[in-house]
Amino acid sequence: MKLATVGTSWITERFLKAAVVTQGLEPYGVFSRNIDKAKAFGAPYGASVFYNDYQQLLDDPNVEIVYIGAPNSLHFSYMDRAIDAGKAVICEKPFVSTMKEFQQIKRKVVEKRAFVFEAITTLSMPNYTSIKENLQKIAPVHIAKVDFSQFSSRYPQLQAGERTNIFDPAFSGGALYDLGVYGVHLAVGLFGAPQDVVCFCNNKQYGVDISGMLLLKYPDKVCNITFSKDTHSTTITEFQGEKGYLTVRGSTGRCDCIGLALVGEDEQDISLEQSDNPMEYEAAAFVKAIQNDDWNYVMQALNQSETVMDILCKARKSAGIVFEADKA
């Protein structure tokens, strides 16, 4: 399938690197308002068609699938127009900004039977499947502490008075939507929709949250999700069960390092080896779903995204985080 990309940051570049090694996916077109930037960005990965107008990309009948790595606030309109143009879509997390946006996308996905996916690395990692299986060994789990803290080099810039998209409410920025979304996807993937959601955030004087914590209530468990771009951390995620505990050390976007401790036993490293580029797994999964016409996969992924968006929006309401997108 011929792939065209939107956005020229590191995340889109990482996806192009994954696309190059993904069977059935072929870097073809790149959109950037600056055509020279589009060429310089896409040519190294084999892209050969460049657009400085998004409509050109949508009008190109050769483009079969669009990857959207633009700022969060633009996900909705790029995705909405791509669906209208009959393209398959891979949209970077967070899927959209608001539930209103989500419902419009969902309506179109169902109406047009569009193959649309939220790119959230966690759920396609081999170790995610391993976590899911191994949690059965320590079940029931009553306490889950999920962490994605990563000090941002842009935070000192923000403190110095510079504006930056990732911390701008006009771009649906902040740590919850950037990092917290991984933890929420992990929790929802493992435990489903919670009964109750509370969120407290820090540093809101910058217009969005720079760090904070979510608390999710389930019938038999409580889940804490930490997200932080203004602190340093061991970044340990832990699931506590009646028969032992399971740890994830490092990024919950990758889940590289998994430990399992059954009652009375030492913690064992049960990590599976994973590729350096976590996006290879999601790229392969999405292509496979399209090739197999696996509509069930699309709907399950969309349900997952809906539950996650619902939590993110409830969390923002709870913590008092308002985006420009809320005013639309």
Binding site for its own copies (CB under 8 A): 138, 141-143, 145, 147, 149, 151, 196, 198, 200-203, 210-213, 215-217, 220-222, 224, 226, 228, 230-234, 236, 238, 240-245, 247, 261, 263, 267
The minimum distance between CB 160 and its own copies, in angstroms, equals 14
The minimum distance between CB 98 and its own copies, in angstroms, equals 24
Q: Rounded to whole angstroms, how far apart are CA atoms 81 and 56?
A: 12
Identify which of residues 235 and 303 has a Cβ nearer to its own copies in the complex. Answer: 235
Identify which of residues 179 and 298 has a Cβ nearer to its own copies in the complex. Answer: 179
DSSP helix/strand/coil, 322: coil
The minimum distance between CB 258 and its own copies, in angstroms, equals 13
Q: Rounded to whole angstroms, how far apart are CA atoms 149 and 230?
A: 8
Long-range contacts of 103-109 (CB under 8 A, 24+ apart): 104/76, 104/80, 105/76, 105/79, 105/80, 106/302, 106/306, 108/80, 108/83, 108/84, 109/83, 109/298, 109/302
The minimum distance between CB 158 and its own copies, in angstroms, equals 12
The minimum distance between CB 124 and its own copies, in angstroms, equals 27
Identify which of residues 106 and 229 has a Cβ nearer to its own copies in the complex. Answer: 229
Closest listed residue to residue 74, CA positions, set 57, 89, 91, 59: 91
Identify which of residues 181 and 201 has a Cβ nearer to its own copies in the complex. Answer: 201
Three-state SS annotation for 299-310: HHHHHHHHHHHH
The minimum distance between CB 17 and its own copies, in angstroms, equals 28
Cα dist. 258→126, 128, 132, 148, 237 in Å?
Answer: 11, 9, 11, 15, 9
The minimum distance between CB 311 and its own copies, in angstroms, equals 14
Identify which of residues 13 and 310 has a Cβ nearer to its own copies in the complex. Answer: 310
| 181 close to 308: Cβ distance less than 8 angstroms | yes
Q: Rounded to whole angstroms, how far apart are CA atoms 309 and 312?
A: 5
The encoded tokens of residue 115 equal 């193959």
Identify which of residues 136 and 292 has a Cβ nearer to its own copies in the complex. Answer: 136
Q: Where are the beta strands (DSSP E) in the chain?
A: 2-6, 26-31, 49-51, 65-68, 88-92, 116-119, 141-149, 196-202, 211-218, 221-228, 236-241, 244-249, 257-262, 268-269
Query: Which amino acid, 280?
Result: E
Identify which of residues 39 and 243 has a Cβ nearer to its own copies in the complex. Answer: 243
Identify which of residues 220 and 273 has a Cβ nearer to its own copies in the complex. Answer: 220
The minimum distance between CB 159 and its own copies, in angstroms, equals 9
Q: How far is CA 101 from the centre of its chain?
A: 16
